[in-house]
Structure 1
């Protein structure tokens, strides 16, 4: 019998009680119950043995180390490639490598990657795939990024990447990361703002002494897009402006021409580092956990996979999800099709396009992406009976409107979770209030069976997001069990 789990917590009830009932929608005041009238579930923390609790905290430490380095999609890929090779994975170079038990890397331009452990069954009979994305909201530099500004400073001109609340990025130390590829063929890594002694970049806010002209701006327009420009320098010379001096410093530091910046991929990200949140150390705080959290959990789960699975196990880490999964490293590219073709052609010489389509049709996919959790300050933003709660385990996301998988596939996943004693919950946003999207649609368009799953975050898409260590550990365990699903 399938268990229909509805979640609530003591802190949700407390938040609702503290809030004014006159200002909260009725949905926020509901107390979800099971048919027997009892509260449906409890925190995963309360189900752990002492050893499991120790495992949860141990799992969080290398994750934080990954977050310290994975400040862009390219840097994230580099971290994963290093971890994969340490776990015995090798770059795919020849069809002869594709044999049961082989651990292979399919690298797509160092910005997206597939890790595969070849199973004993043919790829055509089915695969088990966890698909994630490793890009996170940030600011990109424009092609001509340095401009002078009033107040005798130079600014960096930026464009927005992903859904952000712009006001959160002011008065915050920002670091500059990415790459510059020069016209003379050099590849330069840029990382300014994280090393001791590095300068940082800051978007200046208006002082309360002189901001009366700005006070009519609303919540989402405190800063306009063209105002998201951090200070890059402030010292002129007798002959040159501050902007000229900043450009001269960039030329000297990287030995580049102005035109090289046109080809650069440079991002501004918070110059903060991950840390535990709360006196009990139960949460991980960091920028970029959507969706680096699940990219790490998925990658770790396949790196830790023992033996030869029956079905080929794969992790697909993509790029550009926050802007629509576009470009040749996003989930809407042909890269995954190419990987399937390589696998099929090695196992079935002269495999046809129809053979590849059969392999895609038989694939089972978890589209793993973070979701927002019930906010302790704003519980009314969620619909209580279908809201995901931090610390309550894996989220099965049900969006409706054609985004959900077939019922039989969802039932298989629920049975797998229950069989492995992995706590799970559901999330459906409040109607006409919330929403979201994942890469799942691009995979189901290939006739794959796809279910959206995740873990809840607090302050999702903010400059500092919070995740529960027990949720992260739970979904890691879930991915490991999924690879063995019949």
Structure 2
């Protein structure tokens, strides 16, 4: 082997290069495969927030977590959880350091873009029955046409009882669909911009095509659907007014590629970070700093509401937590750190023109630190300080975690935000860390198994 030149040695010493995990550490491929089997199962049980919280509580209780009790004194290694309205879950492992030295937050969101039913959704037209929808979050509407969909959510009946719906996921279940035009008749539609390939008011869900056998009723096809819902769930049409019902892709999580190196599924933004942060939390034993892992809601619509990060939900929990040690919450928060666990857009060679290659993240190069998000001039962004970047990078490097850094596309190509700014507004040093995703916000998103596994390792490093 030829010896390195002085220039090569200098280049190796001074230049920064992001390395591919599969090339550098092929032994990690099998570990990533094994880790992602649990991840795919998590995705299949967590299509919506309520289901995610319910499934996660089961995992947490199996790992020894118990409901948090305000005023109780806890010791290092104790594990507790707090369920907020069935849509948020906070998990804590008490650390060896006192709370006045700060806590380590990992915060991920568990809502994803979807099609919500309108409050009065059911109608019939030309002897077909439909649901009207209002899309939730940032979707590319044309992607939802002809995609098999499943109905999920909760209905509060008039007597106050709650009914959870889950139709379209089991082997023999029916599915639902938004229809689209055949190419033979789409000449006029083809003249629309891509953004209007399907319009919001065209995202109507086909739910039935047979009537009640009574020629005296006014809407026999709509009534047939209502009769089925009534028989199965005790619903009447009025109950839609008290419901949270949504359509999500019926597709299960699957391996992608001949090498099975990737995961394809709905909702990986941001359940991939929720799962990796959760697994790191569950594996924490007696960490140096108390861990607070939060699975939150409403990020895709701006984080507003009682279960979103813009609420005081987390602040109130922290007030109760620090009360156990007689501390002031402001003193704890200013000493704390947070990983805002959210995804970034992986570089896609097919659409390279919207990315700035030198500052993009790539599949198979590990979790991506995103120093800031926002749009154009960093609008709506938390911009992590040099000190915060140093501390987080030090955590990763001390545990030999391969990672990368990246932005969300070219400066003027668009942009996006995370919950980072909301936790930073609580006077907590915060930076985004998560998994690169291809086809983000599509009904079927793609992640690398190596990136998923190394993101879990990153959160574990942060929790030590």
- TM-score calculated relative to the size of structure 1: 0.88
Relative distance call for 1:440 and 1:37 in structure 2 (3 A) is closer
Distance 2:195 2:14 in 1: 41
Residue 248 of structure 1 corresponds to 227
Deviation at 1:35, TM superposition (A): 8.2
Secondary structure (helix, strand or coil) at the match of 2:188 reads helix
Residue 116 of structure 1 corresponds to 92
Deviations 1:227-254 (A, max 9, x none): 1111010012333421122122212221
Is 2:22 the counterpart of 1:45?
yes
Deviation at 1:452, TM superposition (A): 1.0
Distance 1:204 1:125 in 2: 56
> Greater shift after overlay, 321-330 or 242-251?
242-251
> Greater shift after overlay, 80-89 or 373-382?
373-382
Distance 1:260 1:386 in 2: 50
Distance 2:152 2:303 in 1: 21
Is 2:332 the counterpart of 1:332?
no
Deviations 1:300-353 (A, max 9, x none): 1110113x12210110110010001111111111111111111111111xx5xx
Residue 294 of structure 2 corresponds to 316
Residue 6 of structure 2 corresponds to none
Once the two structures are superposed, the pairs formed by residues 22-37 of structure 1 within 5 Å of their partners are none
Distance 1:346 1:468 in 2: 41
Distance 1:475 1:416 in 2: 13
Deviation at 1:460, TM superposition (A): 0.5
Secondary structure (helix, strand or coil) at the match of 2:31 reads helix
Deviation at 1:99, TM superposition (A): 2.5
Relative distance call for 1:49 and 1:202 in structure 2 (3 A) is closer
User: Is the Cα contact below 8 Å between 1:98 and 1:343 reproduced in 2?
Assistant: no
Is 2:323 the counterpart of 1:358?
no
Secondary structure (helix, strand or coil) at the match of 2:365 reads coil
User: Is the Cα contact below 8 Å between 2:120 and 2:241 reproduced in 1?
Assistant: yes
> Greater shift after overlay, 426-435 or 70-79?
426-435
How many matched pairs?
443
Residue 148 of structure 1 corresponds to 124
Residue 141 of structure 2 corresponds to 166
Residue 178 of structure 1 corresponds to 153
Secondary structure (helix, strand or coil) at the match of 2:430 reads strand
Relative distance call for 1:38 and 1:403 in structure 2 (3 A) is closer
Residue 467 of structure 1 corresponds to 447
Deviation at 1:465, TM superposition (A): 0.3
User: Is the Cα contact below 8 Å between 1:113 and 1:316 reproduced in 2?
Assistant: yes
Residue 322 of structure 2 corresponds to 344
User: Is the Cα contact below 8 Å between 1:364 and 1:448 reproduced in 2?
Assistant: yes
Residue 369 of structure 2 corresponds to 396
Out of 344, 351, 359, which is 1:386 matched to? 359
Distance 1:399 1:446 in 2: 17
Out of 169, 189, 192, which is 1:214 matched to? 189
Deviation at 1:37, TM superposition (A): 9.9
Deviation at 1:161, TM superposition (A): 0.4
Deviations 1:95-124 (A, max 9, x none): 225332210001111100110001122222
Is 2:30 the counterpart of 1:54?
yes
Once the two structures are superposed, the pairs formed by residues 62-101 of structure 1 within 5 Å of their partners are 62-101=38-77
RMSD: 1.6
Out of 237, 241, 259, which is 1:262 matched to? 241
Residue 22 of structure 1 corresponds to none
Residue 452 of structure 1 corresponds to 432
Distance 1:481 1:35 in 2: 26
Relative distance call for 1:165 and 1:334 in structure 2 (3 A) is same
Relative distance call for 1:222 and 1:35 in structure 2 (3 A) is farther
Distance 1:136 1:293 in 2: 11
Distance 1:273 1:53 in 2: 22
Is 2:342 the counterpart of 1:369?
yes
Distance 1:78 1:294 in 2: 17
Distance 1:311 1:145 in 2: 48
**Gaps (5+ residues) in structure 2?**
1-10
Deviations 1:106-145 (A, max 9, x none): 1111100110001122222210111110011001011111
Deviations 1:12-61 (A, max 9, x none): xxxxxxxxxxxxxxxxxxxxxx78898823311122253x3321111000
Relative distance call for 1:447 and 1:286 in structure 2 (3 A) is same
Distance 1:380 1:40 in 2: 22
Residue 391 of structure 2 corresponds to 412
